Structure formats: structure tokens, C-alpha cells
Structure 1
Amino acid sequence: MSNRNYVIVKHMTLLKQVKITACYVFLVWITITQFKAWSQTQERPFILVKASEREKILDKIEKQDWANEIYTNLQKETNRRVDIFYKNPEAFIKKLPFDWSKKQQNQFPPFLKTTHVANGVQENLDNATDEEWRPAELLINNLQVALNCGVMYYLTEDEKYAYVASSILYSFLKSVQQSEVSTWRGRGGWLFPYDGFREVRVIGYKLPLIYDFIHPYLKQEGKAFDIFKNNKVSFPFEDAQKVFKAYANITVNYGQTGSNHCALEAPSLVFNALAMDDDTDREQWLSYFLTESTENQDALNVMVKNYKNEGDIWPETSQYLNHTTSILARLMLVVNKYNPSLKLGKKYPNVLHALPRLDYFVYPNNEIVRWGDGHRRAHAPYEAYENAYALAKMDGLTQIQNKFAPLISGAIRKGKYKRKGIEALFWYDDDFKDAPVNIELSRTDRVYHAGIVLQRNLSSTGNPKDDMMCFVGGAHMVHGHAEGMNIELYGEGQVLGVDHGRKSYGKNLHENYSRIFAAHNTVIVNGSSQGEGGWVNLGMNKVKPVTMEPEVGKEGVSPHHSFSLTSFVDDKGDKAEATQERTLALIRTSPTTGYYVDVFRSKSRLPNEYHDYLYHNIGDELVFDNQDLDFKETPDRYMANANAPWKRNKQYRHPGWHFFEDVNTSKLYASDVKATFHTKKLEQGAVFMQLHIPGFENRTYTKVKAPTTFESPEPYNHMPTPTLVIRKEGEAWNNPFVVVFEPFNDMETPSVQSVTKIEQDGIYKGLKIVSKTPSETVTQFIITQSKNQVFKNDTLGIHFEGTFAIITINEDDSLKSIYVGEGEKLSYKNEVVTTNSLKSYYKDYSK
């Protein structure tokens, strides 16, 4: 074993050493030798675009309207800033955020540092104020001016642009080196001493691109303006190379592995590596992106292990998974263009296959299924789709080209996507006019790493308001929430049964509500369900599918019914210790009507157990039909942990329900309950979610106002969220929480007329539901059991060996249909069904 310093950078205090074997040295030498042979033929620019591609791009600008629009907008904005510069170069440069109080004689002053202080403690910049962020904003904006000037110089060869870019870059290089890279928590930066992770993402990657574009000008002894010499000076190539290595070093030797951080920092690594003029340095640093991981940075060959199978996605929440994959696809294209012999698209095709998966995790109103810190309305990364298409085209991957062509075509035609930015100008050529546009959404799907099983049933009316969709899920991941076994429900064009979402990181609301159980439609056990261990101490078990119908990718045996049975172990901390099962069924009764059945079983191995079922629905109020519930104000009911210790990202006030306000609780109540969430202020008109809840002993009902649900439709993104909490003293397994949900609008009456529980020997077995649709009245017997259970009722004439089944009866008592979602045998009166190896079955007796 031998030790080797990656690089020594002037003013850098953190030097790390990496142990490498002789074999590793030999392999790196081979890689560098191979790259060197290639790189010696390169003439700048070549990071985003090659000098040889200029004429082709100019032709595109002349002939393609979208390309001409990009160029015209860039030219207009850049010329405006260039004119300001030429009027007074000194005044222009002096607007950079220099810290004049620290200026040394004959030297540039350092830049003002960008920091954030919370409660007297220096922290990262997630919640920086506008004032704290202003120096960084000034710097970022001016570097963007320099980058735009570099692009305009490349396209026009007019040196006025190169001189402006050179002057800004020169001033940055001189000033930044007056500081030292911070060693704060191994995550420090140069200008952001407490957030190097952010610095390389917003600053570090721009510098090499500026340099690459104006290099022909610099190589010809092009000058830069020095504000202290008040004159044009030669460009400091050596300083530039030191700064590029410093930013590459911050990525390679700072930071953390095993998360999206490695991908988010990778553009700075790749671009700074490619900006190095020494071939050996360039390929050495580039190898840290391609193959050579360090303890602080995963290389591409490690990151791609998250895409083991076609369709696998980055294992985080929605905005992070697509953002991460988009970055990798972009960098794969950049490096592939630099060295086409790598064929990165062919080597790692599953990265590209992962990109469109989020398009399939959408509700009928195009909002995204939400888990963890995920956003509701993130848009598909169409630029990444085009990058994937371009890379696939380079590497001859016809299947991937055929996958992305209709996605891009459809987005362009529907007005969802418009090409913009310099990379579009450089990389995109195809018009996709002849590509198909439709995306087929399956009846069921899974987000495997998030434990999510989703169901959808699109109406034959073609109106998204008549569509139905739901999901159950939950799992631990980076940016995941300790949410238990959570559901969301869609109806009348909106996600009505909602997950809270998230806003600003680090705030009390986010840490002690958004991230933990009380913000989700789940069950809290003994008031103590929590996350523990893992990422920021929010670890929890994954929700596991026990059975489902239809299976992912299958058509389903019935056009009207689907279901899932999932399980979860709530054992973090030491006060819940619960086993749980959840049956979630989607049942359509006509093209415009249908309902959801939710059966949640929960039991703890601890004595004196109790269980709380939570359901949040956007709306104005929750109204109960039962006048005898006798609600009383109970302001202290959920306040036990309101002042418990809280340490950001480490310790929380579980389970978070101390944020509930206007808390009112019923007396013990064993009868059936009917309640409705009223949502009357939507632009589309009023909608409702009606709940039928079969009664059981030892139950109380509480209605509360929970915090606002983020990204909900106006005006509910500014209003409290009405929430129902049902408490069961004792176990909730044999007699679980059972709720029938029906969405409807103000032009309709609810179709569900009555809901009656079915029991066997005092144990819940299912429901009898009578529905009046626009065309008929039907009765449905819905049997919901755990695996390997048997239900027999001679009065009803039902015998069922299995997990889930629906028997539908016409108004004249004739048999309309039988559905077995999972089971061995079902008999109803004289009709006997045996499913054999398929385990599922459907027959429509009206045909």
C-alpha cells in the first residue's frame, strides 16, 4: 500500500490521503494513458460543445425557430450587460461582493463569505435569509454573465464578449484565492465556509465552462481588466488551474457518500476536471467521476448500482430521484461527447430507463404521488429526456430512442415542454413530429424503494374528475419520512386524502410534524410511533406487499375492482412494538361513481395498548351526522411531547400531533359513524369526501385542525387541514379500523346508501354496502381477511377461503358479479368458484 496526495492547493488547509494498491495505480495509469491519447486531439471548447460543431449550430439558429429564439434571448440579455460593462469596467467589477475591509496592499480583497446563523450556531444555507444570501447572489449572477458572454463569443467570435468574460473570471480567481477552504464538518467550502456542498453546485461548476468557451481568446493572449491596475492584463492561467483543482478537490475529498449528494456535486467535478489543461491531471480527476470512488464521493460505477434492473429509480423522494438521475444522464452525455469510445449510454442504459418512471407515478390530474420530502407538482425532466435520447443516439440504442421520442413529442405538442437554454441549442436536433404521444398508465404500479403500491381506475367518461386512484406505502430512505403505513386518496379531480408534504428544512414544523407520523394517514401506536436510526434518525421499516390484484403490469381480472394487502412492523423506539396490516380496495360502481375501502389492523405486544387512526383531507370542515357523539374540547389530548427534547436532524418530538389545534373529542362510542369532509372553495366547485365507519367497542372520535397541507389547491394551501383521529383502546386487529370513503361533487348525491359490518364470532370479516348509482342499485358483500383465513355465513350463503372478495347483487337479488382478488374458493348460495393456481377470478353474470 502506498500513500498519495490527490492535490495540494494554495491556501487549502485540508489535505487528505487515499490509500491505493499497486494494482489500482496500474489500472489508473492504463486509464490515463488511454484518455491521454484521446484528449491530446481535443481543442477547446469541448466541455459542452466542440469548436467543430459551431457551423452546424449556427445553421440550426438560422433554420429552427426554437433555436433562433434561444439565441435571440441570450444575445439580448448578454448585450445589455456587456454595454454596462464597457461604459465603466471598473464600476462593473467593483460590484462583485468584495470584502473591502480585508484588502491587502497590491492584492484583490477576498469575497464576502456567505453564511447562515441559527440560534447563534453556524449552519448550512438551507434557510439563509435574503440578506445572508445577497453576496452569493451577486457572485452567481455575475458568473452567469461571464458564462453567457463565453457562449456568445463561441457563437459570434466577437472578442468584446470574451473580454468581459475574461475580466469577471480574472477578478474571481484573484479574489477567491485570498481565502482558505473551510474544514467545517468535512463539508466546508471556499466562499460558503459552512456549506461547500452548495458552493460547488451554484458556483464551482460555472468557472470551468467560462474558461472553456473563451480559451481560444485567452490562448491568443487575450486580456482581462484589472481594477487595481486600471489596465488590461494577461490572464493568469496558473491561478485558473489551481482554482479548478480546488473545486474538484472539494467534491472528491469533502462531502458524503451513499446519497444524492455525490450526483449533485458531480457536475463541478466533471467540468473542473475537463477544464484542466494538463492531460494527465484532466484524466486523473475525471476518473474520480467514472470509476475511482473516495470515502467522500461515489464514482459513477457505484452510483449506477441503484439502477440494477430496468425501471429501477434512484432510491429517494420524487424531486430528488429525477433530479439525481437527470444529472447523471447529463454528465454521461458530456463525458461521452468528450470521449465517444466510453459508450456510457450502452454501458449504463438503466440510468436512462429510470428517467420517465415518475411520469407513471401520477394522479389523473397530473400531480405526483407524494412520499417523504417529495413535491406534488414537480414536472417531468424533459431536458433530461432529450439528453437521454441524444446519448442513446450516440451509442446506437434504438430501444431507448423509441422510449423517449413519444414522451418528448407529446410534451412539446401539449405545451408542457419548450426547449430553452444553451445546452438545448448545442445538443438537440430531432423534431419528433412523427413520434406517437400517448403514455399508457397501468392499473397498478409500485415504487419499490418507497414501499408504495398504487391502484388506479380511469373512467370511460374520459373526465379526470371521474377517475379513481389511491396508494398505500412507506419506507426509510434519504429524505424519507417516518410515516408508518400511509395512504393517499384521489377523487373529483383532486388529491383529497393527503400527505402533509414539506416546506422549509430545519424548521420546527418540518422537524417535528412534517417528517413524522402525525402528518400522515396512518396509525399511531400507544402515542409513541416514531422513526429511529438510519438517515437523520428517521429510520423505519418498509411497508411490504402481502398480495395485490392486479399485479404490476397485468390487466386485472375485473375492470371495476382492485385491492392490495400490505404489512408493516412499527417497532422503532420501545413503546409501540406493533404489527400492522392494511387492506386498501378501489371499487368502481359506475363510470361516475365508486368508493375506497380501508381496513387497518394493528396490535401491540405491550400491555395497555391503544391505537389512533389518522386521516387528513383538504377542506373547510369535517361534519358528523351523528348528533350523539357529544364532542368536548380536549386541548391537552395530544400535548404530552410538545416540549420534549428536539435536536435538529437527530431528536424529535414524536409523534408530532402536538401541532393539532381546535381539538374536540367524543365520548366512548360503539355505533356506526357517518361523517363528511366539506371542500367548498375550490375553483372547480365544491367537492366532498364522505366516510362510513362501522362501529366497534372502546372507540372515541376526535376532530382537529392539522397544519396546512403544502402544495394543495387554492385556497387550501393557506388553510388548516381538517383531520379525523379514531382511537381504539386495546388491540385493533380482530376488530380493525374500517372506513369506506366516497368522493362526490356538489352536482351529485353520494352513491353509497348504507354500510354494515359483517362479523363471525365477534370478529370483523367484511362489509355489506348498498350503492345507488345513476343507473341501478346494487348490494356488495366485501370480504376482507388476513391471509389463510376462512369466512362462513350460512345466513348470507357465503363461504370464502381467501383474502379479498366482492359479491355484487342486483336489486332483484340476482347475482351480478363475483370478484376474487386473492383466494382459493368462494361459494355464494349455489354458485361455487375455485380459482386454482391463479388465485384471482372475476365473472360478470349479466353478460
Structure 2
Amino acid sequence: MSNRNHKIIQRMKQLEQLRLTACYVLLVLILITQFKVWSQTQERPFILVKASERQKILDKIEKQDWANEIYTNLQKETDKQVEVFYDNPEAFVKQLPFDWSKRQQNQFPPFLKTTHIANGVQENLDNATDEEWQSAELLIENLQVALNCGIMYYLTEDEKYAYVASSILYSFIKSVQQSEVSQWTGRGGWLFPYDGFREVQVIGYKLPLIYDFIHTYLKNEGTSFDIIENRKVSFPFNEAQKVFKTYANITVNYGQTGSNHCVLEAPNLVYNALAMDNESEREKWLSYFLSESTENQDALPIMYKNYKKEGDIWPETSQYLNHSTSLLAELMLVVNRYDSSLKLGEKYPNVLHALPRLDYFVYPNNEIVRWGDGHRRAHAPYEAYDNAYVLAQMDGLTELQNKFAPLISRAISKGKYKRKSMEALFWYDNDFKDAPATIELPRTDKVYHAGIIIQRNLSSTNSPKDGLMCFVGGAHMVHGHAEGMNIELYGEGQVLGVDHGRKKYGQDLHENYSRIFAAHNTVIVNGSSQGEGGWVNLGINKVKSIAMEPEVGREAISPYHSFTLTSFEDDKGNKAEATQERTLALIRTSPTSGYYVDVFRSKSRLPNEYHDYLYHNIGDELTFENKDLDLKNTPNRYMSNANEPWKRNKLYRHPGWHFFEDIKTSKTYDNDVKGTFHTKKLKQGAVFMQLHIPGFENRTYTKVKAPTTFESPEPYDSLPTPTLVIRKEGEAWKNPFVVVFEPYNEMEVPSIQSVTKIEQDRLYKGLKVISKTPSETLIQYIITQSKNQVFKSDTFDIYFEGTFAIITLDENETLKSIYIGDGKALNYKNETIQTESDNTYYKEFNNE
């Protein structure tokens, strides 16, 4: 064969290969296009559930008791409303909150607007009265009836349900279009003109779901009842699409970025996008959730930046972080079910990993560590665990399936979780009958965005009453408080040393006490500590960790001891200008006893400084054993800022202590002080918190009745909170505030026999604490210094270079143990210790 012919043959082979490749590529493109078109034009319903899944769900109802219960309850409730509707359709629809006075000829009347007026000014609906909220509540209830009817139509295919649902939806669509969307400060709504944020959460998201469920009925020429024409009419598809776009637009162009608002509005966006019948319109609006952020709405990739590492949580307070993450997980599942090729679980797994984190921020009595606007009592988002499992299963994420299956099983078996929602009926199949999981709570943990460091020491008795736990923290965030470097203390089954919490937003108490320094266990500098800048002008610096043991994720070196040393800059405004450090230690002395050591250093860069240490404890009263403390009434002591200007969410009456009542103050008192908070009205019986306060110069002691601590155990949820305030004239750094706290109950006596300060050159260095536990007497030398300080005492024969150490002796002063939480070297009598690179050490000495 000639070379020329050979080249021709080779060229022909190449062309054939190119043709085959082109055909293959074309085939793939056709298949992708067909899949995309199929995913977009699939038969409704498909937002929460697919038409093709109906029989599977009916089988579930027949075989699974929990599914049957959900269905039976829905049927019973819905049938009551359907019966009322069919008895008089006109009267049923006319109960909707129409504003008949504004009806135009031959038109539907508009709905009554829901507004809230405070001091003559229109505000959002946070504090709306029952009367103001009445029309909205009526509308919400009827839309829920329509949604329930839509679901029943899907399950039963009985058109009586679809007719009721379509009549309510029809009336809403006709009436809502008689109004204009408000432009109020970029947050306006359609029916809530000054709170579009709330409108899309309670109204806007329901409409597309109703439409999706009854679409088969509507497209088959199903009718709706028209109260103006008093007859059955065709459904206005084009008008419905306009309403869906309007509600989607309220989220995309009238919302707020950088907070949980984007998450809370996202269901409205996603569901209204999926209700659009035009495929390109649906994809366009859905993109605002999946990829395209706007000035008013963050898309999923932006919101996901809050979950950079596995275990990161939504950076707000407890109820918001849980709710936000749960909503994101649910929406990821909804959109993934619509288009499984998106694989949102695989792309954004840390959203799912974040869901169980709140289970780890709990006290031994299962109440939650509280910061900012967070609640004390909440439950884990168990339904979100179920959603996470389904999404992980869809995307083949084995690790996440293995993580959530036992958590769901544990919750169900312990009676903490019962599937009740319609989503459960649609989405959940597995029963998770495996052995329940256990949650191992670590000795220390952190809520990173809140500056919180947790210490816990659970008892070998396994009783919540014997558990010990505390935290120190503070930071700025959305829904955070200007709280300074705050602590909470737990004992005898209750959070005793408490953060005030919150009730209704916008009220004087919330704005000018709950949110600011005086409501927290912190130090106020020069009477002027405050928040400034940031979210609603409450910005503060974050509490920073200097040293701690054990570090988060590490094994504790001692079963009895732990500590943290933290710092805080109180520099907002221009009258505090302070640097602060706080050592908080948890020391267990027996399975049923232990105590906390709190050392708070504070110094201002301004002249004539003074510092006030605040501690709030639920209870009936605070008493002192010092008979010569001689407290006198001082009603005006904290009133200087009581009448300062206040502008909601912008300007406050810092630091908030003008809410204190029954104020009694001592003269300057230099001696040691011993006091007790009595809490005698608990159902469990009386408990106490005893305080040992070493004496220093230039101190005055004040006891007050602070406002009620919200979410306290009865009856303390309606009683004032006894509070101690210690004032130090001048700096409080070299000789800081030092308090030893011991909780005990009425069946016990306090174990601490004495607390004596340890000094070097008249400067505070630590404490000598003698305790008598049920089994032994302990003598403990506790050295608490700033980083890299040295303590040397010939009296005690101690040399310590470091931050925190405890030397424990028995009653014969025989060495029992040495603990170094952070330090380089310690000498005690004949014991010489040099620590390793982690600066920690623990040893128990057997002296038998």
C-alpha cells in the first residue's frame, strides 16, 4: 500500500472517531437536557412530596402506627372544617379578614392590614397586641385549613378537599392583589406593611404548598367558590403566578442580609420559586437560594460560610442557631428532592454536622447554657435529625447516616421525640430500632462565636444534683447582649448563678436591662460599661481564652480540677476604657461536694476609676454572717442614668442598674465577708449558694433586688433576683475581686470550713481553702495568677511559675495531689516539678 493511500485510510478512521465522539457528546447533551426538562416539568405535586410517592405513603399509613396517627389526626381535624365549609361556603369564605369598607365595585375587598403602633409610630409586630394580631391570626388559620385540605386531596384524591382548598386560595389571591407592597425601610410587606419579614414566615410560604397539592384538580378544570359572584369559577392561574412572584420578590429584594433573617425568609423564597409553572422563571428564582445573593438576601453559599469547620454552628443565640440550621437542612432536602443531581448534602455537609451541637451545651439538668437572647429551655431539633438522615441517604453520605441514626433512635426510645409532622409522613421510612446512642459530654467545650468556655464535672453518683458546671463568656453577635465577661454557675440541680435572659423585645426592661451589663454576672467599670456599634448598637469585644485545662477535645489530667483564664477589653463608649482578666475554676472535693473560684481583675486607663462586681443568684434572699457589715438604704445609688435618652434598638440607658430595687450598701469594709443566697421554695427542697469573699481595702458591699430572672424554676420565674454588688475604688487588678462559691442543699452542711487569701508583698496570689467532705478533710492551696507570673512563699514553702495550680493536703498536711493547669515549674517542700511542653501536670501521692 502506498504511503498516500495509508494516509487516506488513517484520515478516514480519524473522521469516523470524531463522528462517533460527536454523536456520543450529542447523546449525553440530549440526555442531560431531557433530564433537566423532566426535573422541571415533572407532575405536581413535587415541592414536599411527589405524585409518584403517593402509594408508598398510603402503605406507610397502613403499616406504621406513627404514620397512621399523623394521618388520622389530620383527617379528623380537616373533616371538621370541610363540613363547616359545605354547610355554607359563602359564610365560610367571608370569615376571612376582608376590609369591606375599601371594596371597589365588582372587586374583591382587600384584606385588613396587620400593624402595630407604639407611641404613635408604626413598628414591626414583635409587640403587637392580641387585637392587632387578630386579623392575621384568622388568615393564617384559614390558610392552614387550605393546606390541610390540599394534603388530604393528595392522599385521598377526593375532590371535596380540593374544592375547599382552591376556594380559600382563590379568595386570598383575589384579595391580596387589591393592596400594594409597602416600601417601608426596605422591610415592608403586602399585608403586614411594616413587617414583611414576619409576613413571609407565617403567610407567604403556605400559598405555593396549597397550589402544589391541588394542582391536579385545578388543571383538570377544578373550580373555586367566588363570594362576589356567589358561584363556582375557574381558577386564575396567571394571577396566582403573580402572587408567587411577589412573595418571592419580598424575600429577594426587601430582606436583610448577615443574620438569621435570610434563613427564616428562605422557605418563602424556595416554595414560591418551586410554585412557578414557567421553567425558566422557576430556575431563576430558585437560583437566589442556590447561588445568587442579593443586597437583601444571602444565598446558600454565603450562609454556609458560617459552617467553615465540622461542628461550627450558626453564630447567634441558642434558639436562633438551632432553628436556622434546621431550616437550612430542611430546605436543602426539599431542593435536593426536586433535583437530586444538586447533591446539596454532599456539597454542604457541615450544615448537617452542626445540628446536634446544642445537645452538648447543656447543664446536668438539661437546661441550656444561656447567652444573649437565648432561651434556657429548648430541645434538640430531632425532626431535623430525621431530615439530615434522609438527605445523607440520598447523597450516599455514610458517616452522616451513622451519626444521626442512633441519635434518632435514642430520642424515640427515651420518649423525647415523636414524629408528628406531615413532612415525617412524606419523608421518613426507617424506624431506627437499633440500640440507643449515648452522648458523652466533654469536660470542657466552647461556643466559639459567643466567646464561651464551658467547664463541667459530672458526679459518679450520676445525679444531676451532684453535677457541677460553669461557663465564662461574652461576645457580639446578632441577638447578643452587651454582657461583658459574664459567668453562670450550676449547683444542686439548678442554674443558680444566672444570666437574666429575655422576654418581649422592644420593652423598656429588655432594652435597658436584659440586653446590657447590669443583667449579667460581670464587672461594670466607672458605672459606664456599655455596648457600641454593630448589631443594634450593642457591640462588645469577644472574651478571649488565655489558658485552660483541659483544652477542648483533650482528656482532663485530673478528675477533680479544671480552670479557665480569659480576657476582655471593656472599651466601648469612652468612660470605661478597661482591661480585664477572669480566672474561673471548678474544684470537686467529693462525689457530692465541690466549689467554684472566681478571680476577676479589672483596671481602667482613666483616672478616678472604680469597678463593680455583680453576681445574680435565684433565691429568696442574700444574708451575711458579718454582723458589722451594717447595710443602710441607698435608694439613689444606681439611678444616675435612669432618665438618659432611649431610642429603641439604637440608644440605651447603660449600664442598666437603675432597675435595681431595695438597695442596701455598707460603709467601706476591709474584712473577709461570708454570705449565703437562700433558695427555699423549689419543689426539690431548699438549696443554698454560700460565698466566701476575702477582704481587701476600699471595698463596699451592696445587696439589691434585681428584676426577675426569666425561665427560672417556679416560683422564681416571678420573683426578684437577689444580687450582690461589690465596689472597689481604684484599680481591681493587683488585688482583684475574689469569690469562692459553694452550692449545697438542706440535707447537707457546706463543706468549706475556711477561705484565706494568700499574698506576696501585700498583693493577692491565691487562696487556702479548708474543706470537710463526707469522707475527709482537705487543705488546698490554690494559686491564681496572670500569665507567666511567679509566686514564692517561704511561709507555705511554695514556688510556682505559672497561671494556675492546686496543692491538696489531707488534715495531717500530708501531700495528696498536685495539679498544674498552666505553669512551667512548681516546688512544694521536697517536690520539684517541671512541666512538659503543654504546661500541665497532675499527680496523686500515695502516702500509706
Alpha-carbon distance in 2 for matches of 1:446, 1:40: 44
Instruction: Tell me, in whole angstroms, the C-alpha distance in 1 between the residues paired with 2:396 and 2:813.
Output: 62
Q: Compare 382-391 and 523-532 and name the one that shifted more.
A: 382-391
1:408 matches 2:408:
yes
Deviation at 1:35? 8.5
Q: Which amino acid aligns with 1:293?
A: S
Match of 2:620 in 1: 620
What whole-Å deviation, never above 9, does each CA across 1:628-658 have from its counterpart, x for those lacking one?
A: 0110000000000000000000000000000
Q: In the comparison of the two structures, how many residue pairs are matched?
A: 817
Q: Does 1:664 align with 2:664?
A: yes
Residue 313 (1) aligns with residue 294 (2) = no
Offset of residue 846 of structure 1: 2.9
Q: 2:25 aligns to what?
A: none
- The reply on whether 1:705 has 2:705 as its aligned counterpart is yes
Deviation at 1:836, TM superposition (A): 2.0
Corresponding residue number in structure 1 for 2:373: 373
- Counterpart of 1:693 in structure 2 is 693
Alignment check: 8 A CA contact 2:41 2:279 kept: no
Q: Which moved more, 1:400-409 or 1:762-771?
A: 400-409
Look up the match of 1:466.
Answer: 466
Q: State whether structure 2 residue 579 is matched by structure 1 residue 576.
A: no
In the alignment, which residue of structure 2 is the partner of 1:151?
A: 151
1-structure distance, mates of 2:671, 2:106? 85
Q: Contact 1:368–1:376 at 8 Å: present in 2 too?
A: yes
| Distance of 1:813 and 1:560 partners within structure 2 | 19
Verify the 8 A CA contact 2:541 2:568 in the aligned structure 1: yes
Match of 1:840 in 2: 840
CA distance in 2, matches of 1:144, 1:367: 33
User: For residues 498 and 34 of structure 1, what CA distance do their matches in structure 2 show?
Assistant: 61
Aligned-partner Cα distance in 2 for 1:618–1:272: 47
Which residue number in structure 2 is paired with residue 14 of structure 1?
A: none
Q: Match for residue 337 of structure 1?
A: 337
Query: How far apart are 1:41 and its partner, in Å?
Result: 4.2
1:272 aligns with 2:272: yes
State the SS of the aligned residue for 1:647: coil
Q: Aligned residue for 1:48? A: 48
Give the equivalent residue in structure 2 for 1:363: 363
Partner Cα distance (1:774, 1:787) in 2: 35
Q: Which residue of 2 aligns with 1:9?
A: none
Deviations 1:6-38 (A, max 9, x none): xxxxxxxxxxxxxxxxxxxxxxxx9x9798534
Tell me by how many angstroms 1:39 deviates: 2.9
2:470 is the counterpart of 1:493? no
Matched, 1:66 2:78: no
CA distance in 2, matches of 1:92, 1:41: 35
Amino acid in the other structure paired with 1:196: G
Specify the alignment match of 2:239 in structure 1.
239
Query: For residues 20-169 of structure 1, what are the structure 2 equivalents within 5 Å?
Result: 36-169=36-169
Give the C-alpha shift of residue 435 in structure 1: 4.1
Q: Distance in 2 between matches of 1:422 and 1:106?
A: 39
The match for 1:603 is 603
Aligned-partner Cα distance in 1 for 2:36–2:404:
34
Deviation at 1:230, TM superposition (A): 1.1
Q: Contact (CA 8 Å) 2:517, 2:654: kept in 1 or not?
A: yes
Q: Which residue of 2 aligns with 1:541?
A: 541
Q: Which letter does structure 2 place at the counterpart of 1:671?
A: N
Question: Which residue type is aligned with residue 815 of structure 2?
Answer: L
Contact between 2:413 and 2:436, CA under 8 Å: does it hold in 1?
no
Q: Which residue in 2 is equivalent to 1:636?
A: 636
Secondary structure in 1 aligned to 2:367? Answer: coil
Letter in 2 for 1:501: G
Question: Cα RMSD (Å) of the superposition?
Answer: 1.1
Q: Give the distance between the partners of 2:33 and 2:776, measured in 1 at CA.
A: 77
Q: Provide the C-alpha distance between the structure 2 equivalents of 1:440 and 1:40, rounded to a whole number of angstroms.
A: 45
Q: CA shift at 1:838, angstroms?
A: 2.4
> Pairwise mapping of residues 501-516 of structure 1 onto structure 2 (< 5 A)?
501-516=501-516
Q: Contact 1:35–1:283 at 8 Å: present in 2 too?
A: no
Instruction: Give the superposition deviation at 1:104.
Output: 1.0
1:16 equivalent in structure 2 = none
Alpha-carbon contact 1:36-1:283 (below 8 Å) kept:
no
The reply to whether residue 483 of structure 1 matches residue 488 of structure 2 is no
Other structure's SS at 1:495 match = strand
**Deviations along 1:455-498, whole A, 9 cap, x unmatched?**
00000001110000000000000000000000000000000000
SS at match of 1:243: helix
Amino acid in structure 1 at the alignment position of 2:407: L
* Secondary structure at 1:126 match in 2: helix
Q: Can you list the C-alpha shifts for 1:522-574, whole angstroms capped at 9, x where unaligned?
A: 00000000000000000000000001000001111000000000000000000
**Conserved 8 A contact 1:617-1:721:** yes
What CA distance in whole angstroms lies between the structure 1 residues aligned with 2:565 and 2:838? 17
Structure of greater Rg: 2
2:550 is the alignment partner of 1:550: yes
Task: Give the stretch that moved more between structures: 416-425 or 201-210.
Answer: 416-425
Instruction: Report the secondary structure of 1:837's partner residue.
Output: coil
Distance 1:224 1:143 in 2: 15
| Paired position in structure 1 for 2:588 | 588
| Rounded Cα–Cα distance in structure 2 between residues aligned with 1:761 and 1:410 | 57
SS at match of 1:60: helix
* Structure 1 partner of 2:767: 767
Cα contact 1:815–1:845 (8 A) shared by 2? yes
Cα deviation, 1:678-735, whole Å, max 9, x if unaligned, reads: 0000000000000000000000000000000000000000000000000000000000
- Greater shift in the superposed pair: 533-542 or 395-404: 395-404
List gaps (5 residues or longer) in structure 2: 1-29
Structure 2 counterparts to residues 218-237 of structure 1, below 5 A: 218-237=218-237
How many angstroms apart in 2 are the aligned matches of 1:320 and 1:749? 41
SS in 2 for 1:283: helix
The 2-side partners of 1:184 and 1:33 are apart by: 43
The 8 Å contact of residues 326 and 355 in structure 1, kept in 2 or not, is answered as yes
Does the aligned pair in 2 maintain the 1:753–1:770 contact within 8 Å?
yes
Aligned to 1:287: 287
**Amino acid aligned to 1:817:** S
> Matches of 2:810 and 2:838 in 1, distance apart?
27
8 Å contact kept, 1:39–1:279:
no
Using the alignment, how far apart are the partners of 2:433 and 2:497 within structure 1?
39
CA contact (8 A) 1:36 1:279 kept: no
1:666/1:702 contact within 8 Å kept: yes
1:22 corresponds to which residue? none
Opposite residue 459 of structure 1, the aligned amino acid is S
Quote the offset at 1:405 in angstroms.
1.4
Distance 1:170 1:84, change over 3 A: same
Return the offset for 1:44: 0.1
Task: State the 1:109 CA deviation.
Answer: 0.1
1:689 aligns to what SS in structure 2?
Answer: strand
| Percent of aligned pairs sharing the same letter | 83
Shift of 1:404: 1.1
Give 3-state SS (helix, strand or coil) of 1:558's partner. Answer: coil
CA distance in 1, matches of 2:753, 2:248: 66
Question: After superposition, what is the alpha-carbon deviation per residue over 1:418-477, rounded to whole angstroms, capped at 9, x for unaligned?
Answer: 100100100111111114321010000000000000000000001110000000000000
**Partner SS for 1:200:** helix
Relative to 1, partners in 2 of residues 1:34 and 1:537: Cα closer, same or farther, differing over 3 Å? Answer: farther
> Which letter does structure 1 place at the counterpart of 2:663?
V
Q: Distance in 2 between matches of 1:579 and 1:480?
A: 21
Contact in 1 for aligned 2:247/2:272 (Cα 8 Å): yes
* Offset at residue 601 of structure 1 (A): 0.2
Matched residue, 1:262: 262
Determine the structure 1 residue equivalent to 2:6: none
- 1:673 Cα deviation after fit: 0.2
| SS of structure 2 residue aligned to 1:547 | strand
SS for the counterpart of 1:688 is strand
Q: What TM-score, normalized to structure 1?
A: 0.96
Which sits farther off after the overlay, 405-414 or 685-694?
A: 405-414
Contact kept, 8 Å, 2:798 with 2:828, in 1: the verdict is yes
One-letter identity of the residue aligned with 1:48? L
Q: Which residue is 2:26 aligned to?
A: none
Residue number in structure 1 paired with 2:652: 652
Separation in structure 1 between the aligned mates of residue 409 and residue 518 of structure 2, nearest angstrom: 42
Unaligned stretches of 5+ in structure 1? 1-29
Following superposition, the deviation at residue 609 of structure 1 comes to 0.3
Spell out structure 1 runs of 4+ moving beyond 2 A. 32-41
CA distance in 2, matches of 1:170, 1:806: 74
> What residue identity is the alignment partner of 1:164?
V
